[in-house]
Structure 1
Amino acid sequence: MSVASHVEELRRKHQSLALAVEAAERSPSTDNLNISQMKKEKMRLKEEITRLSH
């Protein structure tokens, strides 16, 4: 897998997670710990994308 395709896959995962976080934040029954974990994973993906893009 090339670096560019790996970065693209990470971007897709990041976008999917962003949508999941937004949906979870709108849902009153979602656990705040779950939202926090999704946000941390989203941040980790963003950092990995940034690291590989430079």
Structure 2
Amino acid sequence: MAEKLSDDERALLQAELEHLRQEHRDLDAAIEALLHLGAADRLQIQRLKKRKLVLRDRLVFLEDQLTPDIIA
């Protein structure tokens, strides 16, 4: 699908990828901070981890859209 993307579409996907990567890193930092504080709310940590997984799935999908298919 990558070859069917216009330059504008590719730029939008790249921008969304960067935004999602940053959000993923921020969630990782928030989870680590909660764990190190010792007063960690397990439910809050579960929610953050679930959000992180959703972001990871979206990242993989977008990366697949930007990567050209290679026939082996």
* TM-score normalized by the length of structure 2: 0.71
Within 5 Å, give how 1:25-40 maps onto structure 2. 25-40=35-50
Name which one, 1 or 2, has greater alpha-carbon Rg: 2
Number of positions where the alignment pairs a residue of Structure 1 with one of Structure 2: 54
Q: How far apart are the structure 1 equivalents of 2:46 and 2:37?
A: 14
- TM-score with structure 1 length normalisation? 0.93
Equivalent in the alignment of 2:31: 21
Gaps of at least 5 residues in structure 2 are 1-10, 65-72
SS in 2 for 1:2: helix
Runs (4+) off by over 3 Å: none
1:21-50, Cα deviation, whole Å (9 max, x unpaired): 011111211210000000000111011000
RMSD between aligned residues: 1.1
